[in-house]
Amino acid sequence: MIDNISSSCNACKQCAPLGACIAFKGIEGVLPMLHGSQGCATYIRRYLISHFREPVDIASSNFSEETTIFGGNRNFNTGIDNIISQYHPKIITIASTCLAETIGEDVQRLIDEYRIVHKGEKNLPEMVFASTPSYQGTHYEGFHEAVYATVKALANRENEATGKHINLFCNFISPEDIRHLKEITGDFGIDAMLFPDYSQTLDGVSWDAYQRIPEGGTSIADLKRSASAMLSVELGYILNSGGRNGAVRENRQSESAGEYLQKQFDVPCHRTGLPVGVNETDRFFDLLASVSGKAVPEKYREQRGRLIDLYIDGHKYVSGKRAVIYGEEDLVVALASFAAEIGIRPVLCASGGESGKLQDTLKNVLGDLYPPDMVIGQGMSFERMENLMTGLQPDLMIGNSKGYYIARKMDIPLVRTGFPIHDRIGAAHARTLGYEGASLLFEQIVNTLLEDKQRKSPVGYKYM
C-alpha cells in the first residue's frame, strides 16, 4: 500500500467543511453557516452548484484581519442574527474552517452564549456545530463528522420505550440513490429515519419563485427519535475513520453516528457496504429482510435476475480490462467490489482519505477476487496517481471529473461517478445503488469501452 501523507499537489479530495455542508443540507429547514472567511463559503457554493445544478445558500461569519487577531465572537453573533432575520430557519448548522480552528475558536461556547443571551425568544432555531478544519480529513470525513455532530446534538430519548423504526445512515450518495433507498425501505414496510436526506434540497423541482430554504430533508423530530430506534444501519465500512472526530494520526478512536447511538442509547448498530453490484446489494437486502421479517420483494428478485443476465451479455466486453478506481474510500471499496465481480481487474485503488483502513477493507470485501498485485493509495494526489498509472497500463478510469486530464493525457476512457462531476450534466440523478443502479453503471462502463474502441478503430463499424 502506498501512503502519501506528506505534502501533495492537486490532492484527490476536497475540503472537510464542503462535505459537512452537503450533509447539513439533508436536514429540513436548515441554513448552513461557515465560521471563517467569506472565500470558503464562495468556494463551496461554486463546487456544489456546479455538481448538483441547484442554487445553494451557505452563510459565513466573514472573518477579517481584525477577526483573526481578536476572535470571531462578534461576527458569529451578527451572522446568526442575520440568518434568523432573513431566512427564518428551523436549524442553523455551523462548520468551522481552517482559520477558525487555527486561532482556537470555541464554537460550541459561542453557541451556548448566544442561547443564553436569547433565552426565552420565540422560534429560536436549533444549532449544531461540526469541527471541520480542512487540514485534517477530507470532504468525506467532513460529511460524516456533520452526520455525527447532528445526531449527537439532537438525538433524545424522552422515554424508555424502543420504537419500531430504524435509523438508516445512507452515506455520501446522489439524491437519486437516496430516493431509491427510501423506495426500498418502503417496499420492505420499514419505517426508516434516513439521514442525511438531501434528495429534494439538492435536487428539487423547477420553482415559480425562489425559495431561500428548499423543502425536504430529514426532520428535526425524526433526528430526535433516532435515540429510540430499534437499530441503526450504516452504509459504508470506513466512514469518518480519518476525520476530525477520531484522527488516526493522533491515536484517537473514531466514532460514527451509529456507534454513538449504540454507546449512548443502546441502539444496536449494523454496518454494511454501499450496495453496489450483486454481492454488496445481496448483503444489504438480506439485512433488511432480517430486520423486517419479510422476504425480499419479488420486484427486486426480478431486478437481480435481469442484472445477472446483463452481466452475461456484456461480459466479453469488460473481462480482463484494467481499471483505476479513485474517490471517497467507501465508494472506492464499493466500485472495486463491483468491478471485480464483473471481470474488471482493479490495478489501482486510490483515495485522498487517510483512514489507514482501505487495504484491509478491500481485502475483506473482495475476498478471493482481491488481486494480489493491486496498488492501494491513501492520501493520494492526482499527480502521484498519474505517475503510478504510467507503469500499470490501465484500460479505463472510474471516478470523478477531476481525473479527466489524466484520462485525456493517457488516451483512456473515464467513467464518471462520485463527486465532483463538473463536466457532465445529471450527477444528481446518477443511480449506482441496488440492482438497478448496478445495471445502469454496468451499461455505462460497457458503452464507454465500446465507444472508445470505435473511436480508435481505423475502420468504421457499427456492429459490436
In total, the chain counts a number of residues equal to 464
Q: What is the pLDDT of residue 70?
A: 56
Mean residue pLDDT of the chain comes to 92
Between CA 18 and CA 24 the distance in angstroms is: 10
Between CA 285 and CA 300 the distance in angstroms is: 9
Q: Given a cut of 80, is residue 461 above it in pLDDT?
A: no
Question: 101 versus 180: which is more confidently predicted?
Answer: 180
φ, ψ dihedrals at 293, nearest 5°: 75, 15
Q: What percent of the chain lies above the pLDDT cut of 90?
A: 80
pLDDT category at 67 given cuts 50, 70, 90 is low
Q: What is the pLDDT of residue 249?
A: 37
C-alpha cell at 196: 442525511
Question: Cβ distance 143 to 23 under 8 Å?
Answer: yes
Tens-place pLDDT, residues 296-350: 999 999 999 999 999 999 999 999 999 999 999 999 999 999 999 999 999 999 9
Q: Which domains does the chain have, with CATH numbers?
A: 298-456 (3.40.50.1980)
**Cβ-based neighbour number of residue 253 at 10 Å:** 10
Tens-place pLDDT, residues 33-57: 999 888 889 999 999 999 999 999 9
Which residue from 445, 319, 324, 442 is spatially nearest to 374, judged by alpha carbons? 324
Q: Given a cut of 70, is residue 102 above it in pLDDT?
A: yes
- Classified as helix, coil or strand, 274 is coil
Residue with cell 471516478: 399
Question: Cβ distance 243 to 220 under 8 Å?
Answer: no
Kindly state the average pLDDT of the residues 187-202. Answer: 97
Identify the weakest region by mean pLDDT among 175-184, 241-250, 258-267, 419-428.
241-250
**Cβ-based neighbour number of residue 406 at 10 Å:** 20
Between CA 343 and CA 289 the distance in angstroms is: 29
Question: Cβ distance 300 to 186 under 8 Å?
Answer: no
Q: What is the pLDDT of residue 246?
A: 42
Tens-place pLDDT, residues 413-454: 999 999 999 999 999 999 999 999 999 999 999 999 999 999
Q: Given a cut of 90, is residue 183 above it in pLDDT?
A: yes
Q: What is the pLDDT of residue 204?
A: 92
Q: What is the pLDDT of residue 338?
A: 98
Q: What is the pLDDT of residue 202?
A: 96
Question: Cβ distance 33 to 409 under 8 Å?
Answer: no
With a CB cutoff of 8 Å and minimum separation 6, the contacts of 104 are none
Question: 103 versus 129: which is more confidently predicted?
Answer: 129
pLDDT category at 69 given cuts 50, 70, 90 is low
Residue with cell 472508445: 452
Q: What is the pLDDT of residue 283?
A: 97
pLDDT category at 1 given cuts 50, 70, 90 is low
Question: Cβ distance 162 to 186 under 8 Å?
Answer: no
Q: What is the pLDDT of residue 161?
A: 75
Which residue from 36, 29, 32, 35 is spatially nearest to 48, judged by alpha carbons? 32
Question: Cβ distance 269 to 259 under 8 Å?
Answer: yes
Q: What is the pLDDT of residue 253?
A: 52
Question: 61 versus 289: which is more confidently predicted?
Answer: 289
